[in-house]
Structure 1
Amino acid sequence: MHVLVAGATGAVGRLLVPLLLEAGHQVTGISRTPAGTERVRRQGASAVQGDVFDRDGLREAVAAAAPDAVIHQLTDLSGADGEATDRLRREGTRHLVDAARSAGVTRIVAQSISWVYVPGEGPADETVPLDIGAAQPRGAMVDGVRALEDTAAEMDTAVLLRYGILYGPGTWYAPGGAVAAALAGDPSARFLGSIEADRSVSSFLHVADAARAAVAALDWPAGPVNIVDDEPAEAREWLPVLAAALGVPAPPEDGSGRQDWARGASNALARARGWRPGHATWRTGFAAQEA
């Protein structure tokens, strides 16, 4: 299969390209910069330079590549700018899907997130509705995710990978990343998250497991799938473990607070399709990650 990877040099994309090649796929990666396209070529794939916000240029690039499937791994998180990320989910996905459909592509695998479900008790599965109408700023994030997923679903087959919080190389949670800086007291550290050691529940995912899921999803039926590790956990449990792995102080525990939407997610559906996280829990995964 010829697979076009949008976001080929991101934290997931840079691991995804070699996995696709190892699986026998032909790969073309899109990057916004010449340095990015060169990196993709060094991995053994073809590369094109393109900007997802350049509608016409992107359409030309996808048409020239003529892929059989598109994998959407685009993110805009380096500046911790929620509005920019929401714009990418809305406009960037719109342009990518339009370009893919114009080129005759019928399958897309798209990166989504798993902490957008309505409040409730226990890990959410894919039958739980999205938290539409949530208070701001969460509401804008949920609306952006809904736009991404609805737009991707215009394709004949759209697999929506609702990733857990990503950790590992190139992420905020890696050694030397934004979370380590925030825990160390750096006032300039910026990321979209919380460092409160409270009862809010999160589900995590190593970037390598995210990449492996994207490869597997090329053969999956359409619809959302939670891609998370096996152990949703309260922040008061995982934050001290992360802090120890990063060599920074842990915040004091707050046993009373909890965001009602922070419930974690279930990976039962992904497991039923044969996917297994190589890093089954953050308990061991945090300590194993590299910068």
Structure 2
Amino acid sequence: MRVFLAGATGAIGRLLLPLLLTAGHQVVACSRSEEGTRALREQGAEAVRLDVFDRTAVERAMAAAAPDAVIHQLTALSGFAPGPVQALAENARIRREGTRNLVDAAHQAKVRRIVAQSISWAYQGGDTPATETTPLDPGTEQPRATTVGGVRALEEAAAELPEHVVLRYGTLYGPGTWFAKGALMAERLHRGELAASEAVSSFLHVEDAARAALAALDWPSGTVNVVDDEPAPARLWVPALAAAVGAPTPPAVAGRAAWERGADGALARTAHGWRPTRASWRQGFAALA
């Protein structure tokens, strides 16, 4: 299969590219920088320097690539630490405008299939892990409303293509993510800014995210939670992360927001036969040490 990989140098994309090539796919990989495109060529991909907000450039690149499928792994979260609200807004812009440009360019190039990255914590509130039938949160407040709105726009745009798989990833951890030694969450733990509360999260190792994106090229259309097997409250996972990154453990506190409920990954396992290689954040976090 010929694949147009947007976000090829990101945390997931850089792991996904070698998987695609090893599986025998031809890959047209995109990066915003010349340095990035050189690195992509060295790995064996066709490389395109591309600004996803440049609609004309996206259309030209898609037409020239003539792919069988688009894999959308674009984010802007590397800039989160110096300006959280600005970075979240930029990520939402990528989800709205970047996805719109990719989908419209795919339509023009007669591409039928897209695999798009989404998230599993945009659901409305509840007391149990959310399934794919749970609605996205309709009434959340800012700044979360910006994120949920971006997710909704991305998923609706992706669904316009005849074959579309939306992967609602769990909170990513591992190399290149916020949850790694020396990364954002480790810094927040050292500063005493991360609460060990009742807020429930579902996690996913970044390598498992890449594996799921590769597998999804063959999945039927639909939305799928891609998470590990153990949704957990922060009072459990925060101490484990603190131990892994050498930070002090914060005291446990009560309370959670209604939307902090985690996600149910049963559909990926039963309908698609996909399982994470790290079944729980417990062993995954321990390996970060």
TM-score calculated relative to the size of structure 1: 0.95
Partner of 1:74: 74
Task: Give the AA of the match of 1:220.
Answer: W
CA RMSD of aligned residues (A): 1.2
Partner of 2:28: 28
Q: Does 1:288 align with 2:280?
A: no
CA distance in structure 1 between the aligned counterparts of 2:138 and 2:77, rounded to whole angstroms: 22
CA distance in structure 1 between the aligned counterparts of 2:224 and 2:187, rounded to whole angstroms: 32
Give the percent of matched residue pairs that are identical in Structure 1 and Structure 2: 63
Query: Could you give the per-residue CA deviations for residues 108-162 of structure 1, whole angstroms, max 9, x where no partner exists?
Result: 0000000011111111110111101212221221111000000111111110000
Partner of 2:161: 155
CA distance in structure 1 between the aligned counterparts of 2:186 and 2:155, rounded to whole angstroms: 31
Partner of 2:232: 233
CA distance in structure 2 between the aligned counterparts of 1:108 and 1:265, rounded to whole angstroms: 23
Partner of 2:84: none
Q: How many residues align?
A: 282
Distance 1:123 1:88, change over 3 A: same
Instruction: Give 5+ residue unaligned stretches, structure 2.
Output: 81-86
After superposition, where does 1:41-60 map in structure 2 within 5 Å? Answer: 41-60=41-60
Partner of 1:191: none
Q: Which has the higher mean CA deviation after the structures are superposed, 111-120 or 137-146?
A: 137-146
Partner of 2:200: 201
How far did 1:217 drift? 0.4
How far did 1:26 drift? 0.8
1:112 to 118, 122, 132: 118
Aligned to 2:137, the other structure's residue is in SS state coil
Task: Give the AA of the match of 2:14.
Answer: R
CA distance in structure 1 between the aligned counterparts of 2:113 and 2:208, rounded to whole angstroms: 21
TM-score calculated relative to the size of structure 2: 0.95
Partner of 1:190: none
Aligned to 1:126, the other structure's residue is in SS state coil
Query: Could you give the per-residue CA deviations for residues 217-262 of structure 1, whole angstroms, max 9, x where no partner exists?
Result: 00111111000000000000000000100111122110x2111111
Runs of 4+ in structure 1 over 2 Å off: none
After superposition, where does 1:86-125 map in structure 2 within 5 Å? Answer: 86-125=92-131
1:257 to 231, 255, 258: 255
Aligned to 2:239, the other structure's residue is in SS state helix
Instruction: Give 5+ residue unaligned stretches, structure 1.
Output: 187-193
After superposition, where does 1:152-191 map in structure 2 within 5 Å? Answer: 152-185=158-191
Task: Give the AA of the match of 1:89.
Answer: R
Task: Give the AA of the match of 1:244.
Answer: A
CA distance in structure 2 between the aligned counterparts of 1:43 and 1:125, rounded to whole angstroms: 37
Task: Give the AA of the match of 1:261.
Answer: W
CA distance in structure 2 between the aligned counterparts of 1:121 and 1:67, rounded to whole angstroms: 42
Partner of 2:40: 40
Aligned to 2:154, the other structure's residue is in SS state helix
Aligned to 2:77, the other structure's residue is in SS state coil
How far did 1:58 drift? 1.1
How far did 1:289 drift? 3.4
Aligned to 1:78, the other structure's residue is in SS state helix
CA distance in structure 1 between the aligned counterparts of 2:95 and 2:169, rounded to whole angstroms: 14
How far did 1:101 drift? 1.2
8 Å Cα contact 2:245/2:288 also seen in 1:
no
Partner of 1:210: 209
CA distance in structure 2 between the aligned counterparts of 1:239 and 1:42, rounded to whole angstroms: 39
